[in-house]
Every structure is written in C-alpha cells, then in structure tokens.
Amino acid sequence: MLNPPTLATGFIAPNLISVGNLGIGVPKLSMGIAVGVCQYLTVLTKVVTIDTGTLGVGIGVMPLTIPNPLLQSALFGGFSSMSILGVMAPLYITGLTNGLVTGLLALALLQTNHPTIGVGIGVAKIVAPSAIPPMIAGFASVGMIGDGPTKMATAIGIGLDTTFASFVQPVPIVGTATPTGGAGAGFGMVL
C-alpha cells in the first residue's frame, strides 16, 4: 500500500541522494514530497475505466505503472513554469522521477471494479483535481513553508497534473463471465 514513510525513505530519498542531492534537508524534503503525493493519489484521485470483454462482473488490480519519460518531461515543464530550472535541476528531477516511478510501481495499486464486464481488459485513467494544493500541504506538514518550498511544491504539482492528464494504463479484468461480448465502464481507486 502506498504510504508516505515507505515512499520517502525507500524510494525518494535514495534516488535523490543517488544523483548528488546530499544534505540534512533530504529526509525532510523526501517526506514532504511523499506526503503530498500520497494524499493526492489515495485521497483525491478516482480511477475510471473503459472496458471490453465478456458480460459479467469483474475486478482488476494492477500496479500503478507510470512511464519514466512521461513523468520526467512533465516535471521539467513544472519546474520551468515556476522558473526554478538551474544547473542542478536536471539531476534533481531525474532523482525525483526515478524515486516516484519506482516507488509507485512497488507500492501503489490501481484497484478497479467492472460492473458490466466479467473477463476482459479495461483502459484506466486517473482523474482528480489539481495536485498543487496537496503538494503544498505535504511540504507544510514537515515544516517547509515560505516562497521557496511553495514554488517547488507547485512545480511538482504541475508535473503531476500534466502527467495524469495524458496517463492511461491497461487493466486486466477478472470475474464472472458469460459467452456474450460487451463493453462498459468501470471505476476504482489508487491504494
């Protein structure tokens, strides 16, 4: 399950350190990012699916698999829009991207319900309000307040908004089936 301490200490902090982000602030920064990301994905987002297969009732459970280039380019856009691209930004964004992609793959699950399709495949999309407020709240929860942290949290929030605006993921549907084909819509959440 997706939770801030595991995401921060197991994935974000080690990946930030691996690209040269060293210092006593890395654990606090990692936890602030993790709190914001977890609040955004587990509280604010919903999953909707478009399904095809055989009629029936099914469910789907799949790791959240975000392509590294999608998130990395979105984060570059977010940092650029907040005018915080400097010499260390590419390394920082690379570490942050690697930490989030591997952390979400290992911890986050898309859990979907399919009331009209028993066996088949769905295409899942995550829908949510902006990620900026939960990112700012995540930073504030670890004492990172002021103009600098707010700009960085906003940049990361913009990156997440951009990522999930175009993100889709196939989800296998397993359940009761009939010999009749059909299509439908499903719903779910990120766990």
Quote the percentage of the chain above a pLDDT of 90. Answer: 96
Model pLDDT, residue 4: 97
Q: 4, 35 in Cβ contact below 8 A?
A: yes
pLDDT tens digits along 17-66? 999 998 899 999 999 999 999 999 999 999 999 999 999 999 999 999 99
Note every long-range contact of 11-14, with CB atoms under 8 Å and residues 24 or more positions apart, other chains counting: 11/99, 11/100, 11/102, 11/103, 11/106, 11/107, 12/96, 12/99, 12/100, 12/103, 13/99, 14/99
The residue range of the domain holding 65 is 4-190
Identity (one letter) of the amino acid at 153? Answer: A
Number of domains observed in the structure of the chain: 1
The two three-digit tokens of residue 108, written as one number: 């986050």
pLDDT tens digits along 82-136? 999 899 999 999 999 999 999 999 999 999 999 999 999 999 999 999 999 999 9
Model pLDDT, residue 177: 84
Quickly tell me which residue has 């909707």 as its tokens.
Answer: 48
pTM for the whole structure: 0.95
Q: 51, 169 in Cβ contact below 8 A?
A: no
